Amino acid sequence: MRNVTVKRETKETKIAITVNPDGSGKVSADSGVPFFDHMLNAMARHGGFDFTCTAKGDLGVDCHHTIEDIGIVFGDALKGVIGDGHGIQRFAHAIIPMDESLATVVLDCGGRGYLAYTGTFGNKTIGTIPVDIFEHFFYSLCTRAGITAHIMFSGRNDHHQCEAVFKAFGIALGEALSMSKDTKQIRSTKGKF
């Protein structure tokens, strides 16, 4: 079982995340930011992996440090899950609608951290969360985990767009981390990531 826990404590945040890609979508997210917990829940539940996140952050300042650091710790945990890449599918994609919104996420869990993020929210915030933090969350996650991600979304309702992105990312991530039939294989022409 590939069950990884990472903890990180700074002067701004204290975070613990556990990821089990071989789970069944059991989720417990407690970041202190309810809408973000909703997004993390949607990601892991639809991705079919177990995910636990507890975070205490300087929310009196704003939610930036908390969400950014969750991305960092989640990325570190995923890097541990990916390891040297033996046996994982590596590549995956998902196209997910939510009413009028559509999100496409394409992933390569091959050790190269990169984020291409295309889409625009209609408002500056969703609830109390500045919308630019979502791109920053995925950037932090991908660069720490060594994942290349292309995230594209469109729609009219910001909540729907955001939720479609998180669901698509989760589904693609769950597939990319799943084990191939040949668990000794590394899917790379180089023979390593």
Sketch the domain layout of the chain as residue ranges.
4-177
pLDDT-based confidence at residue 45 (cuts at 50, 70, 90)? very high
Predicted confidence at residue 189, as pLDDT, reads 58
User: What are the strands, taking DSSP E only, across the chain?
Assistant: 4-9, 13-20, 27-30, 50-57, 91-98, 101-108, 114-118, 125-126, 129-130, 148-154
Predicted confidence at residue 190, as pLDDT, reads 61
Predicted confidence at residue 158, as pLDDT, reads 98
33-59 average pLDDT score: 97
Q: What is the pLDDT of residues 138-163, one digit of tens each?
A: 999 999 999 999 999 999 999 999 99
Determine contact, residues 81/51, Cβ cutoff 8 Å.
no
User: CA-to-CA distance for 100 and 110, rounded, in angstroms?
Assistant: 32
Rounded to 5 degrees, what are φ and ψ at 72? -65, -50
Determine contact, residues 16/77, Cβ cutoff 8 Å.
no
Class of domain 4-177: alpha beta
Determine contact, residues 103/171, Cβ cutoff 8 Å.
no
Least confident of 31-45, 81-95, 155-169: 81-95
H-helix or E-strand spanning residue 36: helix 34-47
Predicted confidence at residue 127, as pLDDT, reads 87
Least confident of 70-79, 80-89, 96-105, 106-115: 80-89
Predicted confidence at residue 184, as pLDDT, reads 66
Give the global pTM.
0.94
